């Protein structure tokens, strides 16, 4: 069973088609990276898959449960309960951390599990402390986001996403706001999650990392999937657009 199945996704902004019939399927334990030039629709794809944008057309299922289907060329969304269930399947990590500045590190992590998932506070806090330990931040539970480095803030936002026990994690350029040293510490955390068989979709410009960590890679350009294959084959691609794009990273 696929954890995520997005089919024939279409999305336009102001009459400009940004996603042109995109498919994205991810099975359990898989890591899929999405690469491509700025403006190719990578963030829009993640935003459509995570209900931050609505699809114009296409279908979307999480863990075998269809939450959006296509009818007469339009996307039809399920009811509130179905959307809520789908939203419980994934976690999302952004480029700019998006932590709540007025919450402590611990509260940033525990707030949604307690308030949204209605789980017991003691248990959630104990799990949050475990996650912080895993992220190398055991001693920063009471700090505020502004007291942390960018790399530490991003590790908190990864812990926050994991606290919701998602079936799949989405990353949208998780290291783009970080300098090289802090980038490495985040890539290391994501590699550890991959080794634990966390299902992930990662939009990234870190080509060596993507090559290392991914089961499959998707190269997007101008709202289309140009190629989808293993890292080995993608880096040996004969496709001119793929080669041109990858050439910029050599
Ligand atoms: P990427 O993440 O690959 O850089 P995006 O998905 O952010 O690309 O953007 C794809 C295109 O869609 C860009 O041309 C961008 O300007 C446009 N776009 C994205 N979001 C919006 C929006 N909310 N309103 C209008 N245009 C948008
Ligand atoms: Mg983007």
Q: DSSP readout, 106-172? A: HHHHHHHHHHTS---HHHHHHHHHHHHHHTT-GGGTT--GGGS-HHHHHHHHHHHHHHT--SEEEEE
Cβ-contact 44, 19 below 8 angstroms: yes
Q: What is the value of pTM for the model shown? A: 0.96
pLDDT at 155 over 90: yes
Our separate counts of H helices and E strands in the chain read: 9, 11
For residue 100 and ligand 1, the question of a CB distance below 6 A is answered with: no
Helix axes 105-115, 121-134, angle to 10 degrees: 140
* CA 222 to centroid of ligand 2, rounded, Å: 13
| Distance in Å, CA 16 to ligand 1 centroid | 10
> Would the pLDDT of 15 be above 80?
yes
Query: What mean pLDDT do residues 88-108 have?
Result: 95
Nearest atom in ligand 1 to 14's CA: 25
CB atoms within 10 A of CB 155: 27
Whether the predicted interface score ipTM is above 0.95 = yes
At residue 249 the predicted structure's pLDDT band, cuts being 50, 70 and 90, is: confident
Name the 3-class secondary structure at 220.
Answer: strand
């Amino acid at each position: 069973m696929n954890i995520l199945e997005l089919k024939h996704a279409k999305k336009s902004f102001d009459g400009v088609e940004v996603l042109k019939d995109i498919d994205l399927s991810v099975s359990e334990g898989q890591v899929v990276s999405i690469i491509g030039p700025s403006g190719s629709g990578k963030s829009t794809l993640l935003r459509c898959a995570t209900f931050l944008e609505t699809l114009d057309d296409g279908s979307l299922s999480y863990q075998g449960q269809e939450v959006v289907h296509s009818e007469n060329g339009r996307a039809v969304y399920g009811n509130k309960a179905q959307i809520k269930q789908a939203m419980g399947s994934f976690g999302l990590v952004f480029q700019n951390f998006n932590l709540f500045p007025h919450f402590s590190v611990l509260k940033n992590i525990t707030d949604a599990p307690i308030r949204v998932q209605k789980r017991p506070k003691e248990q959630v806090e104990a799990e949050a402390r475990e996650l912080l330990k895993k992220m190398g931040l055991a001693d920063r539970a009471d700090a505020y986001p502004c007291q942390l480095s960018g790399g530490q803030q991003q590790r908190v936002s990864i812990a926050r996403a994991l606290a919701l026990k998602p079936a799949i994690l989405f990353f949208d350029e998780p290291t783009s706001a970080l300098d090289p040293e802090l980038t490495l510490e985040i890539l290391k955390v994501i590699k550890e999650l991959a080794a634990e068989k966390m299902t992930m979709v990662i939009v990234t410009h870190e080509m060596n990392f993507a090559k290392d960590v991914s089961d499959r890679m998707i190269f997007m350009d101008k709202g289309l999937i140009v190629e989808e294959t293993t890292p080995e084959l993608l880096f040996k691609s004969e496709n001119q657009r793929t080669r041109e794009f990858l050439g910029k990273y050599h």
